[in-house]
């Protein structure tokens, strides 16, 4: 039993606007979410990528490699998918924004600790859970500000109605808690993004397809009915983070608004897709979210260095397509994923789904093409390498229990009855001036500057890219 992801594998160690919002029920006239019909390639898709984010290193033998973000971005560009999106260099999150969720002392620690001075902080390492899984590395807090700023900016593009889908592959760090790091995550950008969405949207649905339980997000919203969290993950009581059993359902006002789908090793495409679609369709029709956040952790793919599922990239992407087709404002985030060539393939493929662009199975040439040898395909054979321990009876039983659980939701809660979670109260109390200021130097301001400068040239990301990390993964 441990609080480490790696250990168990021994791998190298303002509220008034809510109901008046014009697209309050964007999905259908009746207000019930339903599947999008026909070809809707008119969605505005906004993509956030920071050119530096892939250059951070957790440490040589650490499985979390931000370089996967550089690989992903190069595939996105070489498939020309950036031409179908609004592309932004995100702003870094401010400390104030980060502290809208995280404790000030914890953030002060993240800000001050460095590999050089860490010995003088060793007394608080256990309090903040910093060490093996979550090491102190060069630029750690900068890294956090970059991926969190992108999620906050992405959420703002959705709240101000200037995009339909916002993508930040560097985000999705779902394990971080208010006062501690966990599972390679220091700052919980998902919680920060959802706080932003709650300023406008009455109900936000969080969906997590990482192989690990989305514990940090569930915990943050465990007692509210404004955010429903749904996590599909491996669970056996021991697998990191050791939470996410089906009986974790939320409490107080949030009772029944946390949903967990505990799975066993080796789940295959058919079982996963069947369960995902039947559960998510029921959730969306019961909860009637006004926006969705989808965490696309790619460690649920077959052959992941830390994972133990059997999913293909097509199946993982099918979950993304299914959620997109509900045509609700959608924030798409990354997450886990430790066989980095497959993470990049997966998120590039999912980007193609979000922009409705079919892409060739032959990977286009790009400067990192060697990572994808020997097949150079978008869809390598990843499944079938582990026995599926989820029997048909297990899946059916799970589905029945979950659908039964959803009956308690009794339709969507009334907006008027909503209690604003205490955590975000302070954030919402910002006066108009402060808000205007914040917006001006954030996405809106940035956007204006981008417009003034014109769109970034296609090849800009190729320049100044000094990251030659050829640290290839170990096949999981």
> Which residue positions form the known binding site?
133, 183, 210, 212, 299, 338
Of 171 and 336, CB closest to Zn ion: 336
Radius of gyration of the chain (CA): 21
**Using CB under 5 A, which of the segments 284-292, 333-341, 408-416, 444-452 binds Zn ion?**
333-341
Cα–Cα dist 428/390, whole Å:
44
**Using CB under 5 A, which of the segments 44-52, 192-200, 202-210, 275-283 binds Zn ion?**
202-210
Q: Is 297 in the site for Zn ion (CB under 5 A)?
A: yes
**Using CB under 5 A, which of the segments 10-18, 248-256, 287-295, 330-338 binds Zn ion?**
330-338
Of 175 and 200, CB closest to Zn ion: 175
Q: DSSP letters along 450-474, please?
A: HHHH-SPPTTGGGTT-------PPP
Of 71 and 211, CB closest to Zn ion: 211
Closest contact distance (angstroms) between CB of 243 and Zn ion is: 13
Helix (H) or strand (E) run with residue 204 in it: strand 204-208
Residue 39 makes CB contacts below 8 A (sequence gap 6+) with: 356
Of 218 and 366, CB closest to Zn ion: 218
Our CA angle for 113, 141, 61, nearest 5°, is: 80
Is 381 considered catalytic here? no
Of 239 and 322, CB closest to Zn ion: 239
**Using CB under 5 A, which of the segments 120-128, 203-211, 223-231, 462-470 binds Zn ion?**
203-211
Nearest to 68 by CA among 258, 301, 264: 301
Cα–Cα dist 211/312, whole Å:
13
CA atoms within 13 A on the CB side of 398: 24
Q: Could you tell me which residues are beta bridge partners of residue 291? A: 204
Of 305 and 327, CB closest to Zn ion: 305
Closest contact distance (angstroms) between CB of 304 and Zn ion is: 9
Catalytic residue among 175, 233, 316, 405: 175
Q: Name the binding residues for substrate.
A: 133, 183, 338
Cα–Cα dist 407/413, whole Å:
13
78: left (phi over 0), alpha (psi -120 to 50) or beta: alpha
Nearest to 272 by CA among 388, 402, 405, 174: 388
User: x/- contact string, 160-199, with Zn ion (CB under 5 A)?
Assistant: ----------------------------------------
In the list 336, 380, 421, 476, the residue contacting Zn ion (rule: CB under 5 A) is 336
Q: DSSP letters along 341-367, please?
A: HHHHHHHHHHHHHHTT----SBPPP-T
Q: Name the binding residues for a divalent metal cation.
A: 210, 212, 299
Closest contact distance (angstroms) between CB of 213 and Zn ion is: 9
Q: Which position's Cβ is nearest Zn ion?
A: 336
Q: Is 299 in the site for Zn ion (CB under 5 A)?
A: yes
Closest contact distance (angstroms) between CB of 334 and Zn ion is: 10
Cα→Cα distances 184→113, 142, 250, 416, Å: 16, 15, 25, 38
Closest contact distance (angstroms) between CB of 239 and Zn ion is: 10
Looking at residues 242 to 271 of the shown chain, list those that interact with Zn ion (rule: CB under 5 A): none
Q: DSSP letters along 411-435, please?
A: SPPPGGGPPPPHHHHHHHT--HHHH
Considering CB under 5 A, how many residues would be counted as binding Zn ion? 5
Nearest to 302 by CA among 332, 271, 337, 333: 337
Query: Which residues are known to be catalytic?
Result: 175
Contacts with Zn ion by CB under 5 A lie at 210, 212, 297, 299, 336
């Amino acid at each position: 039993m441990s609080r480490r992801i790696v250990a168990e594998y021994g791998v190298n160690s303002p509220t008034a606007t809510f109901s008046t919002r014009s697209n309050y029920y964007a999905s259908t006239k009746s207000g019930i979410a339903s599947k999008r019909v026909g070809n809707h390639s008119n969605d505005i898709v906004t993509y956030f990528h920071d050119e530096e984010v892939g250059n951070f290193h957790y440490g040589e033998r650490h499985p979390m490699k931000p370089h996967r973000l550089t690989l992903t971005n190069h595939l996105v560009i070489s498939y020309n998918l950036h031409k179908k999106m609004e592309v932004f260099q995100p702003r870094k999150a401010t400390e104030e924004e980060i502290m809208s969720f995280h404790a000030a002392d914890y953030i002060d620690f993240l800000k001050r600790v460095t590999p050089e001075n860490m010995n003088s902080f060793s007394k608080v390492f256990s309090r903040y859970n910093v060490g093996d899984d979550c090491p102190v590395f060069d630029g750690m807090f900068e890294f956090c500000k970059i991926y969190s700023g992108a999620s906050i900016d992405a959420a703002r593009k959705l709240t101000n109605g200037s995009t339909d889908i916002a993508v930040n592959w560097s985000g999705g760090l779902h394990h971080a808690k208010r006062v501690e790091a966990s599972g390679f995550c220091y700052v919980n950008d998902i919680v920060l993004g959802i706080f932003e969405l709650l300023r406008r949207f009455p109900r936000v649905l969080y969906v997590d397809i990482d192989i690990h339980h989305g514990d940090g997000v569930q915990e943050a919203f465990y007692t509210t009915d404004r955010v429903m969290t749904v996590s599909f993950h491996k669970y056996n009581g021991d697998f990191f983070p050791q939470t996410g059993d089906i009986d974790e359902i939320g409490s107080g006002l949030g009772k029944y608004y946390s949903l967990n789908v505990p799975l066993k090793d080796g789940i295959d495409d058919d079982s996963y897709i069947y369960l995902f679609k039947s559960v998510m369709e029921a959730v969306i029709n019961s909860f009637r979210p006004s926006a969705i956040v989808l965490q696309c952790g790619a460690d649920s793919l077959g052959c992941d260095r830390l994972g133990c599922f059997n999913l293909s990239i097509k199946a993982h992407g099918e979950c993304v397509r299914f959620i997109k087709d509900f045509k609700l404002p959608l924030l798409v985030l990354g997450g886990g994923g430790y066989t980095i060539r497959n993470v990049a393939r997966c998120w590039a493929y999912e980007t193609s789904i979000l922009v409705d662009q079919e892409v060739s199975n032959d990977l286009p040439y790009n400067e990192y093409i060697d990572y994808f040898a020997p097949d150079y395909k978008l869809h390598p054979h990843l499944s079938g390498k582990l026995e599926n321990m989820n029997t048909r009876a297990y899946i059916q039983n799970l589905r029945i229990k979950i659908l039964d659980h959803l009956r308690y939701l009794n339709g969507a809660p009334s907006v008027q009855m909503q209690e604003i979670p205490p955590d975000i109260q302070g954030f919402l109390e910002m006066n108009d001036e402060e808000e205007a200021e914040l917006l001006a130097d954030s996405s809106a301001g940035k956007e204006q500057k981008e417009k003034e400068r014109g769109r970034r040239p296609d090849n800009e990301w190729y320049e100044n890219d000094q990251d030659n990390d050829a640290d290839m993964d170990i096949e999981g």
